[in-house]
Chains A and B, each alone.
Chain A
């Protein structure tokens, strides 16, 4: 591990890579602060830039920097103007915005920055310990287990990521998988489902789809409902200091929530949003009576808990990505797509084949957290001015960047028409409360899932591989339970509401 750490240090501390972290964090903070633009949209927009860098570790470092920056920026806007840019920072606005109303915006931002820093750092340390362990176990996996593991990942995402409606999330995952089969597959040199359209020969573009699923619907929502981007004044921010007593008060909260957040982040499908809400709820429940009264009215503990939890969870979500090659959240799914575009396949072999990528990403997490703490915090009063950009300028630029992102990847104008078409579909799906992240994750995992499925079929000469390998069987049973149990329980709860007895 020490050896790897040194490789990582030497890669991450090159001049360009440090610039990448700093640049990524700043860009992420800037854009993440704009209401409605979450890390997923920003990373999707940044991917063409990252890919054209060419060096996979630099690209991943840049994107990771953007990711942390965006989360930090999201908390800034939820603290300052009560407009969380991201779902995972909604919990931060519960106590952050009341603090701003009391004139303690500076203090709230400092607490948020420190909590994020500690959460991110503890997360990175845990990642360093857990990832190699998990990767060495994962080396024992065959295609069949990989297939089963991806099915587990997809069903976990469908079960947890949706809005409680598992059926819809499962359907979106399947739709993503179906879309992944369009075009020429790796194992069969025959075009499939292209309907004779030449532009579909190589399948749908992943960046186009990512833009259409996240960036475009967000922009459409901003246009439809101007209230979403309402920017009150950016506000004067002063007095960034916190007292020693306050530091002592929040320290245990941050410690607990960093670890809890990381563990939640490792689970596929859970991610930063659940971690932050759960962190907030847990801290409120274990707080003393008088502290409990303060929650929701500007408690520093209530702000520190979701902040440290969501940062630790975002770090935790890198564990399945880097060790198994299975993304646990929409954001890591986009990162996975970017890595594949750069000819790097994340998975247990990543640590052996290209240790410099693995370790430099981990080291860049520390650097990214440091950058956020020492560079962004003093700059926040100035960065917050970006909230004053009028929406009449903002929205055309967001639309332009989505178009550009889809265009420069392929240099193909048809891609733009596909983007607009899918964007409209995605907006309609969002109206009806269909979750979009499972679709994209399904799309990205689709070809890998099929390859592993086909390979195990070929090795075992048929579908029998499921029965012959106990581990595959076990994993598939877990996957089925993950999908069936929540819908069964929801149905039973509904029946009970109607006064119908359970009847075992």
Chain B
């Protein structure tokens, strides 16, 4: 089964769960006075779930021809291991780490480390360029966001107060 059908199957399951909530569990919490309304919070989701389930099924049974292989310039997911999938994994992990560390570690340290680590992951080894570039960009962006746009970003780690 091709990837696009697997995706359709997953979305089908999501729509069934969504539809189940809309049809069977949501209305129980509805206050009595709202039950006289012609439209309930669950009305629109009910319509959507039915339509989504129909569309998923039509893709699953192959009513429409699925793509005939990747086009030129697109990535062929069947040969995913030929691409730099490892780098993608590390970069995604870095982004998750950044998301978790941003508050406790502070913007300046987290961002500098993120930028340098990202470059290193992609094979950059010129530390004397990488670190200054990351530092200047970090401080510059922090200044822009904090002072010009007026949005608070905690610059230092949690133990330094602020």
Interface of A toward B, CB cutoff 8 Å: 49, 52, 163, 165-168, 170-171, 174-175, 177-178, 181, 185, 188, 190, 192-193, 220-221, 223-226, 228, 390-393, 395-397, 399-400, 403-404, 407-408, 411, 413-414, 416-417, 419-420, 423-424, 428-429, 431-434, 450, 453-454, 457-458, 461-462, 487, 490-491, 494
Q: Do residues A432 and B56 form an inter-chain contact, with CB atoms below 8 A?
A: no
Instruction: Offer 18 A-B interface pairs, CB within 8 angstroms, sorted by A.
Output: A52-B149, A167-B64, A188-B40, A225-B75, A396-B118, A404-B141, A408-B151, A411-B152, A417-B96, A419-B95, A420-B95, A420-B96, A432-B3, A432-B7, A454-B39, A458-B38, A487-B63, A491-B64
Q: Do residues A462 and B38 form an inter-chain contact, with CB atoms below 8 A?
A: yes
CA of A365 to CA of B147, assembled, Å: 30
Q: Do residues B45 and A391 form an inter-chain contact, with CB atoms below 8 A?
A: no
Point out the residue from A52, A395, A416, A431 that lies within 8 Å of B98, measured CB to CB: A416
CB of B13 within 8 A of chain A? no
Q: Do residues B52 and A174 form an inter-chain contact, with CB atoms below 8 A?
A: yes
CA of A408 to CA of B123, assembled, Å: 29
Q: How far is the CB of B37 from chain A (nearest CB, A)?
A: 7
Q: Do residues B98 and A403 form an inter-chain contact, with CB atoms below 8 A?
A: yes
Interface residues of B in 91-145 (CB under 8 A from A): 91-92, 94-96, 98-100, 102-103, 111, 114-115, 117-119, 122-124, 130, 133, 137, 141, 145
Q: Do residues A428 and B7 form an inter-chain contact, with CB atoms below 8 A?
A: yes
- For B62-74 the 0/1 string (1 means CB < 8 A from A) is 0111110010011
CA of A49 to CA of B29, assembled, Å: 40
Interface centre among B34, B44, B55, B149 (most CB of A within 10 A): B44
Q: How far is the CB of B120 from chain A (nearest CB, A)?
A: 8
CA of A224 to CA of B111, assembled, Å: 23
Q: Do residues B18 and A224 form an inter-chain contact, with CB atoms below 8 A?
A: no
Q: Do residues A490 and B99 form an inter-chain contact, with CB atoms below 8 A?
A: no
Point out the residue from A175, A181, A407, A424 that lies within 8 Å of B11, measured CB to CB: A175
B contacts with A: majority SS = helix
Give the tally of cross-chain contacts (CB within 8 A).
178
Q: Do residues A397 and B115 form an inter-chain contact, with CB atoms below 8 A?
A: yes
Q: Do residues A454 and B43 form an inter-chain contact, with CB atoms below 8 A?
A: yes
Q: How far is the CB of A170 from chain B (nearest CB, A)?
A: 5
Q: Do residues A413 and B99 form an inter-chain contact, with CB atoms below 8 A?
A: yes
Q: Do residues B52 and A461 form an inter-chain contact, with CB atoms below 8 A?
A: no
Q: Do residues A224 and B39 form an inter-chain contact, with CB atoms below 8 A?
A: no
Q: How far is the CB of A397 from chain B (nearest CB, A)?
A: 7
Point out the residue from B48, B83, B85, B153 that lies within 8 Å of A181, measured CB to CB: B48
Residues on A with beta carbons closer than 8 Å to the beta carbon of B149 = 49, 52, 408
Residues on B with beta carbons closer than 8 Å to the beta carbon of A166 = 64
Residues on A with beta carbons closer than 8 Å to the beta carbon of B80 = 224, 431
Residues on B with beta carbons closer than 8 Å to the beta carbon of A226 = 84
If A167-B63, A171-B59, A403-B99 touch, does A177 touch B84 (CB 8 Å cutoff)?
Answer: no
Q: Nearest 4 CB-CB pairs, A to B?
A: A396-B118, A416-B99, A392-B124, A431-B77
Q: Do residues A190 and B41 form an inter-chain contact, with CB atoms below 8 A?
A: yes
If A400-B114, A408-B153, A494-B65 touch, does A420 touch B44 (CB 8 Å cutoff)?
Answer: no
If A411-B151, A420-B99 touch, does A178 touch B18 (CB 8 Å cutoff)?
Answer: yes
Q: How far is the CB of A192 from chain B (nearest CB, A)?
A: 6
If A165-B64, A167-B64, A193-B18 touch, does A178 touch B124 (CB 8 Å cutoff)?
Answer: no
Residues on B with beta carbons closer than 8 Å to the beta carbon of A177 = 48
CA of A404 to CA of B115, assembled, Å: 12
Residues on A with beta carbons closer than 8 Å to the beta carbon of B77 = 431-432
Measured CB to CB, the nearest residue on chain A to B12 is A171
